[in-house]
Amino acid sequence: MSKLVISQPQPVMESRDSQEWTSEVCDCFKDLPQCCFAFWCFPCFACITSKKFGEPLCLPLLEFCFGGLIPPITLATRVSMRHRFGIKVSRSLTGGFLQPHVLHDLNPVCGLQGTICRDCVYSTFCTPCVWCQMAREMKSREITVVMINAKNT
């Protein structure tokens, strides 16, 4: 007797050779319709972007209920995207606001090279722009969906 096994397709992010963000946080003119959508209906835009990234559709809405000073969902999604796309960790903590000797003192303490701090600053003060940047990144790297065929076992 054979049993039919069906697996649901899962989105797979394609990693490119570039280890940098393809756009800056405030590069809204690179995709103006998308940024207008984020401006006029940010919760809808964040939910759609989250779903395209392979996360639950309504995940960003939790930020309105449980978010504190730093928006945790935005921060986690941004860090996750950096890791999935292989975007390298830069040496500066907050875009050059700290002097090199301060960075040298902080790096051994934090165990990080600083990008998480930049992610915190961007996620806290530029939340819609961060979501626009993540949407542009996914668009430029093109999400590929891998379909898994049904198999007889």
Asked whether residue 102 is assigned to any structural domain, the reply reads no
Examine residue 16 and state whether it is found in any structural domain, yes or no: no
Domain count, the chain: 1
Specify the pLDDT at position 108: 38
Residue 128's domain comprises 32-87+114-151
Q: pLDDT above 90 covers what percent of the chain?
A: 26
14-28, 35-49, 70-84: range with highest mean pLDDT: 35-49
Give this prediction's pTM: 0.67
At residue 96 the predicted structure's pLDDT band, cuts being 50, 70 and 90, is very low
Greater confidence (25 vs 48) lies with 48
pLDDT of residue 10: 55
Largest CA distance in the chain: 70
- Is residue 23 situated within a structural domain? no
Q: Does residue 1 register a pLDDT over 80?
A: no
104 domain residue, yes or no: no
In a domain, 10, yes or no: no
pLDDT band for position 113 (cuts 50, 70, 90) = very low
Lowest mean pLDDT among 32-36, 75-79, 114-118: 114-118
Residue 37 has pLDDT above 90, yes or no: yes
Tell whether 69 is covered by a domain: yes
Type of residue numbered 33: P
What is the pLDDT averaged over residues 102-117? 45
For position 41, what pLDDT does the model report? 95
Q: Give the mean pLDDT of 5-17.
A: 54
- The verdict on residue 4 lying in a domain is no
Three-state SS string over the chain comes to CCCEECCCCEEEECCCCCCCCCCCCCCHHHHHHHHHHHHHCHHHHHHHHHHHCCCCCCHHHHHHHHCCCCCHHHHHHHHHHHHHHCCCCCCCCCCCCCCHHHHHHHHHHHCCCCHHHHHHHHHHHCHHHHHHHHHHHHHHHCEEEECCCCEEC
d(CA 74, CA 50): 10
- For residue 73, being part of any structural domain is answered with yes
